[in-house]
Amino acid sequence: MKGRTGWTRAATAQPQVARELEHGGRGVRQRSFDGLRSVFQRHHQPGRVLVAVAAVAIAILLGALLVSYGSKLYQNWRENGLLDRATALLEQGELSKAAQMARELLTRHPDSLPALSILADTAERQNLEEAVSWRERIARFRPTDPESQLNFASAALRFGKLDMAREALTRVSQKDRDSAAFHVVAGWLARAEGNFAEQEGQFAAAVKKEPNNDLYQFNLAALQIRSSDAEKSNNARITLERLSKLIGYRTGTLRALLNDAVDRNDLASADSFAQQLQMSPDVTFGDYLLCLNFYRKLDQKKFRQLLERVKPFAARNAADVAALIDWMNQNGLAADVVEWIDKLPPAQLSSPPVSVSVADAYATVKNWSRLKRFTRTGNWGDADYLRLAFHAIAVQHLRSGSGPSATLEFSKSWQSTYELSKNDSKHQLILARLTTKWQLESQAEQLWLAIEKDPSMRREALDNLRRIYRAGSETTKLYEVLERLHEISPDQAPITADLARLGLNLEQNVERSHQLAKEAYDRAPNEINCVVTYGFSLYRLGRNAEALAGIQTLSPDQLHDSHAAVYAALVLIEAGQIDAAKKYIGAAENDRIYPEEKKLLDEAKTKLMAALQLRHPENPRRYLQQAQHHHHRSASVFDVVPLLKPGSQLWHNCQDEIGSVASGVTGLEIVAVDRDDAAIGQVVEVPADGIS
């Protein structure tokens, strides 16, 4: 019964089996088989369910994997297509479209190096600062790849981010730092820092590594053609003349060669280079100005003719008008500018960049009233801070004797100027240069101190602060600036020497100052500052014979610099060379020196008088004459007596001499004489009441 039931269920569940019953003998066999299967199903039903579930699960998993893999294949195909199209667009110069596709790819894969590279390339070709951030991301993904770090450093330098450039270069391993590419980037960093000696060294190293690289040769030659070393400049000239025949370097080399020929007053060569430059397909309006600079030296008549031809050409473009006015202002032609602008449409003069150049022309010819009227009203847009700055300059020069109202007007104009520029370092830089040019020292100092915080402008700021503090003899501030200059340019020997000498004078970091003096001398043993500073250091260390040997390598003309003369006098007096020292004491007295150097000069005079005492122990009048002459030009003879050793024979003799001179005499002309009794001439006033 059970078997029959099982057969019936099987027949019902599987129609295919029922159809097979129509075939004779096979029906009997089928019934037997189905009976057996029915028994099997009853005994193994749970296992079949598990197998079926597993099969379904496997099928689902395989399906999911197939869908996932297929989707990934499609995505990869699509992304590769985007990348290929972006690359093709980049090669075709379709920069915006290439960047758009690369950005789309980057949204899918933020770490896609090909997409980042395309974005960096398009940004660099469009001179966009975002190139720095793209190069930085690539460098971060590839920290050990020197090319990625150098590309990052180059982009950072291009947009004035010196700290980022330094950081990128420090990440280049030592074994990769001897490549030509590394030397080139390091050279441009040195230039940005104002370290031109280091720049030349790095460029020379790059050429040594790859002597057949024309770009590296051009970089070095364009720098060395201005060298004071005749051999270097001549070799650079030969290199540039060779490169001028190559299309890619023609315009750049002609500019460098023309500037060089003009500087050397080689007018025939300059004429040839100027003509070639004007025929160059890449000639710019700036090149025409360069040619004007040459023709001005060559022939005034031809220059005037060319200038009159250039003016209408420039008038078509505001930037060219401004460039021409700026060039004329810088070349002593500001008066011509004032005449020319009267013929130009007023609308063309009322906005930057032309308005800024016009204001500078009025300031250059010192037409302060017209400058004040020109800048009183208007709106120069983003450059309005310059309108206010020129207005303040005009007020400053007009306010002499005008009372507090003019002072208030200047303060208000300047405050408005500063507020408009304080959040933009480039605006502050332009403003700092302007205030420096027109001698607003207090305002210039304020600006340069702010600008110094920007690494790309730090060197220029420090150089200007150094000049301001030197002019004002503010030696403490000057020392601090020299420390910061030495920090960013440790290989510049003159800076190191100035820092060391001032440190010794101020008694700041004395031991380090001695070390720096030696370092500067070792680096530049023929440079006057380095020789004098090292001599002063040796003098302080009690090694005056070595100091004298160094000082004697310099010419008298070099040592007549007022600062150098102080130290030369000290060393020479210590060495007993009294007559030679006298000349340098006089040179130092006749010019401005630092307060600390005045103390040194007094020290030199004291030593000189002591030496004179030994030279003339029995001749009080001669001693008084010479001592008074060298101690202080307006001093009385009485001023020098206390400097003598009390109780000495000369001390007693001088007391007697002064007593005899002062008895009833209100004035005495004494003649100071040198070693050969040649009269110098000096009038010394003796107090009417004599000696108390």
Joined tokens for residue 177 = 């730092």
Q: How would you classify the pairing of strands 668-670 and 682-684? A: antiparallel
Joined tokens for residue 621 = 């009048």
Coil, helix or strand at residue 669: strand
Average model confidence (pLDDT) across the chain: 79
For the segment 347-368, the average pLDDT, to the nearest whole number, is 93
- Of 19, 52, 82, the residue at which a domain comes to its end is 82
Joined tokens for residue 255 = 């500019």
Q: Give the integer Cα–Cα distance in Å for 451 and 463.
A: 12
- With tokens 């004179």, the residue in question is 612
Q: How many CB atoms lie within 10 A of CB 439?
A: 12
Counting residues of the chain whose pLDDT is more than 70, the rounded percentage is: 75
Domain assignment present for residue 211? The answer is no
Domain assignment present for residue 642? The answer is yes
Domain assignment present for residue 7? The answer is yes
Predicted local distance difference test score (pLDDT) of residue 681: 33
Joined tokens for residue 336 = 């011509």
Domain assignment present for residue 570? The answer is no
Q: Give the integer Cα–Cα distance in Å for 387 and 379.
A: 8
Cα distances from 498 to residues 198, 374, 471, 520, in angstroms, run 19, 44, 15, 9
Predicted local distance difference test score (pLDDT) of residue 33: 39
Domain assignment present for residue 41? The answer is yes
Domain assignment present for residue 689? The answer is yes
Residue scoring higher pLDDT (527 or 638): 527
- Of 36, 58, 82, the residue at which a domain comes to its end is 82
**Least confident range of 26-30, 89-93, 394-398, 584-588:** 26-30
Domain assignment present for residue 403? The answer is no
Nearest to 217 by CA among 188, 247, 249: 249
For the segment 428-456, the average pLDDT, to the nearest whole number, is 91
List pLDDT tens digits, range 465-474: 999 999 999 9
If you average pLDDT over each of 42-46, 321-325, 634-638, which comes out highest?
Answer: 321-325
- Of 65, 82, 99, the residue at which a domain comes to its end is 82
**Least confident range of 10-19, 52-61, 343-352:** 10-19
DSSP code per residue over 606-630: HHHHHHHHHH-TT-HHHHHHHHHHH
DSSP code per residue over 128-152: -THHHHHHHHHHHH-TT-HHHHHHH
CB 666 within 8 A of CB 688: yes
Per the structure, the count of domains in the chain is 2
Q: How many CB atoms lie within 10 A of CB 264?
A: 13
Q: Give the integer Cα–Cα distance in Å for 209 and 181.
A: 9
Domain assignment present for residue 385? The answer is no
Q: Which domain holds residue 20?
A: 2-82
Which residues fall within 8 angstroms of residue 32, CB to CB, at 6 or more apart? none
Residue scoring higher pLDDT (403 or 529): 529
pTM of the model: 0.62
**Least confident range of 77-81, 227-231, 395-399:** 77-81
List pLDDT tens digits, range 326-355: 999 999 999 999 999 988 998 889 899 999
Coil, helix or strand at residue 274: helix
Q: What is the CA radius of gyration of the chain?
A: 43
Helix %, strand %, coil % for the chain, to 5? Answer: 75, 0, 20
Total count of residues recorded for the chain: 692
Which residues fall within 8 angstroms of residue 553, CB to CB, at 6 or more apart? 526, 531
Print burial letters for 63-97: b (CB count within 10 Å at least 16), e (below 16). eeeeeeeeeeeeeeeebeebbebbbebbeeebbeb
